[in-house]
Amino acid sequence: MSIHEVLERVSHIMHIAEGYLPPLHAVAWGVASAPFVVHGVRALDREVRSNPESTLLLGASGAFTFVLSALKIPSVTGSCSHPTGTGLGAILFRPPIMAVLGTITLLFQALLLAHGGLTTLGANVFSMAVVGPWAGYGLYRLLRRFDVPLMVSVFFGAFVADLSTYCVTSVQLALAFPDPGSGIPGALAKFGGIFAVTQLPLAVSEGLLTVLVMRLLSRSSHGELTRLGVLATGAKKEASAR
Amino acid sequence: MLPIDAAAHSSRWRRRHPCEKAVLGLGLTVTAVCLPPWPGAVLVAAATVAILLGPAGVAPRQLWRAFRIPLGFCVTGAVPLLFAVGGPDGMVAFAPGGPGDAARLLLRTSAASLGVLLFAFTTPVSDVLPRLVRAGVPPAVVDVALVMYRISFLLLDAVANIRQAQAARLGHASRAAAWRSLAGLGATAFVRAFDRAGRLQAGLAGRGYDGTLRVLVPRATVSRPFLAMVAALLSGIVALTLVLERCLP
């Protein structure tokens, strides 16, 4: 096994494993995630009440997120990794909905695939279902506001969503396991350094993959993307052209 | 269906109330996280493996195949604790007490993972989700999770078939082809998911869908003797840990 493969395996603690965090940290991250998930649950509840058939579309969206995180993307270092899917999910379904879909996905991954965990669910939700989607979506919207082309915005949205997820995971791990010599800053450098070697190329890979998927979707599923608000409707296009 | 969920559907404890299994499995997990790893996590792991292979009737091979995944995460997650950065010994050096910290973390994460596996191996997700409404989870969220659960397996099957077809057409022969195939796979999964949702919607509309997904939940009652035994087991582990902690090095 090459050093890069070892590092990539270490970097997969993006899903913080069951029992990895001390009890106090596990509870604290759960409390930090709760307002975002509750906000998402309210948004989802409102959507389903006003539009009952959206239950099925939201379920399909969640299943797509679950399957997306199981795909393997080729990494620059020669081995494979999994996309977080947070950028694409946030652009398609918005961050509040992604907070709920991401939480359910992480719960399924813990119970069905033994990835992540239940005591670390709060920490994983905070990095992958809250910070990643909000950071990626925020940048995507900002770029779109400045009329940056759709695919360029999608690339940077997915890139930042992936990278911010890993940055938050590094902070979570550094807070839980300070370096014996240099404390939390040293641990942050240690975990961040491990992630930087593998995650910068992987974030670029995920950005490129998201652009390719979005290009195909804009051809094959124009109607769905318009309904989700990713592509402008004919009336909006005319208004923006004027 | 994924292997753990398939095993849960044919588990010896399938008919037991999910609440009982949650108290046992998640109780062992929380105990492993809260107790000192030596000897607490070792006792939790031993008790959990004994229950999994004994009364729960999980096959050793099945358990190993499922456990090696979190074990891999645990081992790789413990590696960074072996090193210290920026200290007096140089930029990167072996951490004093690093192997001990890594071993304790490995024990804790392994024992905690086994507790969750005990719950997952005996309780299908489809038994848990409908009961979450009683626990206060909004019905809309439970319905979305149920649809997600059912469509996920179909999508995973579809993705596996598409990947096989792409490989048969030399779709992974070069790096550029692999990227094209992967993008196609992601986009096809999206199209299939929405197509499946549309067909489900049409089918349910024909059956008078009013926004609520009604599913049959197998009837089960919570066994008080079972819960009492779980409480005794967890208390016993805690007491034994506190006693052994004083005696052992």
Of B85, B113, B213, the CB nearest to A190: B85
For chain B, what are the domain ranges?
Answer: 3-123+219-247, 131-206
In sequence order, the β-bridge partners of residue A73 are: A81
- Look at residue B94 and give its three-state secondary structure: strand
Judged by average pLDDT, the poorest of A19-28, A72-81, A158-167, B140-149 is A72-81
Could you report the predicted ipTM of this complex, rounded to two decimals? 0.89
Q: Using CA atoms, how far apart are residues B193 and A67, in angstroms rounded to an integer? A: 10
Residues 155..184 of A with a Cβ closer than 8 Å to B: which? 173, 177, 179-182
**Which residue, among A119, A24, A33, has the nearest Cα to B119 in the 3D structure?**
A119
Q: What is the pLDDT of residue A130?
A: 95
C-alpha pair distances (Å), B23 with each of A176, B28, B126: 27, 8, 18
Judged by average pLDDT, the poorest of A28-42, A147-161, B203-217 is B203-217
Q: How confident is the model at residue A27 (pLDDT cuts 50, 70, 90)?
A: very high
Of A73, A74, A181, the CB nearest to B88: A181
Residue A233 DSSP code: P
B125: contact with A, CB 8 A cutoff? yes
Tokens of B220: 């089960």
Of B80, B116, B152, the CB nearest to A63: B152
Residues 91..120 of B with a Cβ closer than 8 Å to A: which? 95-98, 101, 105, 108-113, 115-117, 119-120
- Look at residue B35 and give its three-state secondary structure: coil
Between CA A176 and CA B112, with CA A105 as vertex, the angle to 5 degrees is: 45
Q: What is the pLDDT of residue B57?
A: 92
Of A52, A194, A221, the CB nearest to B80: A194
Between CA B186 and CA B97, with CA A194 as vertex, the angle to 5 degrees is: 135
Query: Does A203 have pLDDT greater than 90?
Result: no
pTM given for the model: 0.88
pLDDT in tens, B115-174: 999 999 999 998 999 898 888 899 889 989 998 998 888 888 888 899 899 999 988 888
- Say whether B116 and A209 touch across the interface (CB within 8 A): no
C-alpha pair distances (Å), B13 with each of A77, A136, A226, B9, B29: 45, 43, 47, 9, 19
- Give B5→chain A minimum CA distance, Å: 6
Q: Using CA atoms, how far apart are residues A51 and B103, in angstroms rounded to an integer? A: 52
With beta carbons less than 8 A apart as the criterion, state whether B194 and A60 touch: yes
Neighbours of B67 (CB within 10 A): 18
Higher pLDDT, A88 or B28: B28
Residues of B with Cβ-Cβ distance to A71 under 8 angstroms: 159, 182, 185-186
Torsion of CA B106, A175, A26, A109, to 10 degrees: -70
Residue in the structure block whose two tokens are 């869908």: B209
Alpha-helical segments (H) within B123-174: 125-128, 139-168
How high does pLDDT run on average in chain A? Answer: 82
B15: burial class by Cβ within 10 Å (0-12, 13-18, 19+)?
exposed
Residues 167..196 of B with a Cβ closer than 8 Å to A: which? 175, 178-180, 182-187, 189-191, 193-194, 196
Q: Using CA atoms, how far apart are residues A137 and A235, in angstroms rounded to an integer? A: 24
Residue in the structure block whose two tokens are 């910068």: A200
Residues of A with Cβ-Cβ distance to B52 under 8 angstroms: none
- Say whether B156 and A70 touch across the interface (CB within 8 A): yes
Q: Using CA atoms, how far apart are residues B40 and B35, in angstroms rounded to an integer? A: 5
- Say whether B95 and A190 touch across the interface (CB within 8 A): no
Size of interface A-B (CB pairs under 8 A): 261
Tokens of A184: 């939390």
Residue in the structure block whose two tokens are 């951490």: B95
**Would you say how long chain B is, in residues?**
249
Question: Sign of torsion, CA B159 B165 B167 B171?
Answer: negative
Residues of B with Cβ-Cβ distance to A187 under 8 angstroms: 85
- Look at residue B85 and give its three-state secondary structure: strand
Residues of B with Cβ-Cβ distance to A111 under 8 angstroms: 4-5, 116, 119-120, 125
Most confidently predicted of A18-27, B78-87, B167-176: A18-27
Neighbours of A74 (CB within 10 A): 17
Q: Which domains does chain A have, with CATH numbers?
A: 3-230 (1.10.1760.20)
